[in-house]
Structure 1
Amino acid sequence: MKILLVEDNEIDVVLTQVYLEEFYSDLILEVVNNGADAIDFLLQQHEFSHCEEPDLVLLDLNLPKIDGLEVLQVVKNTYGKGHIPIIILTTSVLDSDKSFALQNGALTYIEKPLDVENLKKIITDNSILIKE
């Protein structure tokens, strides 16, 4: 499984990687730390033109350059990319952020600290949406 983690906090990157590797032995984790690079990666443009499309995106909302909600909108509204499953992982507890994310195509919205069992369940329950 290839996952793109969009996260600017290095500690969260390491913790998420450790947690995911416990459940997925064949995990390929790509990491970008700002919204602009996330868009470029997902649209396979600029320095990321050679990158393969991920099976799943774990997207923080509070990002430098472009925030996660805008990343979500761009990807979901780009022809040929709207099918990419995106899970929001954030510290934001704002109902408006959650509503916006879910209305704009996020698979689900998980508040940090990361509940790994919940994340595993969500990925497993939605495996039909994720390329094998």
Structure 2
Amino acid sequence: MKILLVEDNEIDVILTTSYLEETYEELKLEVVTNGADAIDFLLQQHEHSHFDEPDLVLLDLNLPKIDGLEVLQVIKNTPNKSHIPFIILSTSILNSDKNFALENGALSYMEKPLDVECLKKIISNNSILTKD
């Protein structure tokens, strides 16, 4: 499984990375820390052109340069990239953020601190993410 974690908080990166590496043996995890780099990574452009497309994106909303909702919207409106699944990870409890994310194609919206059991359940329940 290839996962892109888009997160600017170093502690959240460490906790999420630790959980994912413990849970998934064959994991290729990449991390970017701002929305502009996330878009470049997902569109495989600039210094991110050599990376494979991820099977899943874990996306924070409050990011430098370009916020997570805009990243989601850009990718979901790019025809050859709109299939990429997103799980939103955010401290925002605003219904407007949650509704926007889900209406624009996110699989799920999870509030931080991250509930790792819930994340595990979401990943394992989506056959698109559990490739053989």
By the TM > 0.5 criterion, same fold? yes
1:56 aligns with 2:56: yes
Give yes or no for contact 2:58–2:88 (8 Å, CA) kept in 1.
yes
Following superposition, the deviation at residue 130 of structure 1 comes to: 2.4
In structure 2, relative to structure 1, the CA distance for the partners of 1:5 and 1:67 (3 Å cut) is same
Cα distance in 1 between the residues matched to 2:42 and 2:107: 16
Cα distance in 2 between the residues matched to 1:7 and 1:13: 6
Read off the aligned partner of 1:74 and give its amino acid letter.
V
1:65 aligns with 2:49: no
Aligned to 1:107: 107
Following superposition, the deviation at residue 45 of structure 1 comes to: 0.6
Aligned to 1:31: 31
Structure 2, unpaired ranges of 5+ = none
Q: Secondary structure at the match of 2:15?
A: helix
Following superposition, the deviation at residue 47 of structure 1 comes to: 0.8
Q: Secondary structure at the match of 2:29?
A: strand
Cα distance in 1 between the residues matched to 2:109 and 2:30: 20
Runs of 4+ in 1 over 6 A off after TM superposition: none
Following superposition, the deviation at residue 129 of structure 1 comes to: 2.0
Structure 1, unpaired ranges of 5+ = none
Read off the aligned partner of 1:122 and give its amino acid letter.
I
C-alpha deviations, 1:98-120, integer Å up to 9, x for none? Answer: 00000000000000000000000
Following superposition, the deviation at residue 131 of structure 1 comes to: 6.3
Read off the aligned partner of 1:69 and give its amino acid letter.
L
Following superposition, the deviation at residue 22 of structure 1 comes to: 1.7
Aligned to 1:5: 5
Following superposition, the deviation at residue 57 of structure 1 comes to: 0.2
Q: Secondary structure at the match of 1:129?
A: coil
In structure 2, relative to structure 1, the CA distance for the partners of 1:10 and 1:54 (3 Å cut) is same
Cα distance in 2 between the residues matched to 1:119 and 1:125: 10
Aligned-CA RMSD value: 0.8
Give me the TM-score of the superposition, normalised by structure 1.
0.97
Cα distance in 2 between the residues matched to 1:130 and 1:73: 21
Identity fraction in percent = 76
Cα distance in 2 between the residues matched to 1:21 and 1:37: 22
Read off the aligned partner of 1:117 and give its amino acid letter.
E
Cα distance in 1 between the residues matched to 2:41 and 2:69: 16
